[in-house]
Amino acid sequence: MKLVRLPQRLKTISEYIDYNDTVIDVGTDHGKLPVYLAQINPKRVIMATDISANSLKAAFLTAEKYALTKNIDFLVTSGLKNIDLSLFNTIIIAGLGGETIVEILSDIKWQKNGRKKLILQPQSKTNKLCRFLYNNHYNIIDIKTILDNKREYTIMNCSKGG
Ligand SMILES: C[S@@+](CC[C@H](N)C(=O)[O-])C[C@H]1O[C@@H](n2cnc3c(N)ncnc32)[C@H](O)[C@@H]1O
């Protein structure tokens, strides 16, 4: 099986995901990351979401190309609205602005939803997101800065809840 080719940024994010992790990819767009994660473990519970129906369609087409449409749930929604978070232990939010990531995280009812792994990659306003995580007692496990196509990206491995 030919694995979907990920840019360095998404490859680095994928390295934080364990084989049995159950994953939501928020703002998936092209859907390469959930398709890759479904290739690694076709039995994992995985959902790809996007606020844009067109983006989600692109994700569906990527999954179709790799015959994985039945292995991934697709949902048009803003952030984590209308998602049963108890089904997932890992939330990926990559390529969205730091302020949008803060808004999405602010909506989560942590006590109710148990402990989650969060892999966050803000496209902007990284300081604002860091301050939010710090002030709201998220566990920041590590932060990596990587170069991909001559651009710097910050990837944060955090946890919260439970
Ligand atoms: C730059 S793309 C990132 C795609 C992919 N996550 C990545 O890192 O390569 C940003 C995507 O986030 C989606 N988006 C923006 N705001 C969102 C929100 N509040 N909830 C869900 N998706 C959102 C956009 O429609 C777009 O498809």
Index of the ligand 1 atom closest to the CA of residue 50: 22
Asked if residue 112 has pLDDT above 90, the reply is no
Nearest CA to ligand 1 atom 7: 95
Do the Cβ atoms of 114 and 86 come closer than 8 Å? yes
Give the distance (Å) from ligand 1 centre to CA of residue 22: 19
Task: Check residue 5 and report its DSSP letter.
Answer: P
The pLDDT score that the predictor gives to residue 1 is 81
- Which structural domains are found in the chain, ordered by start? 20-160 (3.40.50.150)
Index of the ligand 1 atom closest to the CA of residue 121: 8
For 27-74, the pLDDT digits (tens) are: 999 999 999 999 999 999 999 999 999 999 999 999 999 999 999 999
Contacts of 149 (CB under 8 A, 6+ apart): 7, 8
| 108 Cβ below 6 A of ligand 1 | no
Index of the ligand 1 atom closest to the CA of residue 96: 10
For 120-157, the pLDDT digits (tens) are: 999 999 999 999 999 999 999 999 999 999 999 999 99
Give the distance (Å) from ligand 1 centre to CA of residue 55: 8
Model-wide pTM > 0.95? yes
The pLDDT score that the predictor gives to residue 162 is 76
For CA atoms 102, 106, 110, 112, the dihedral sign is negative
Do the Cβ atoms of 92 and 24 come closer than 8 Å? yes
Average pLDDT for residues 87-94, to the nearest whole number? 97
Residue 103 pLDDT grade (very low, low, confident, very high; cuts 50, 70, 90): very high
Task: Check residue 12 and report its DSSP letter.
Answer: H
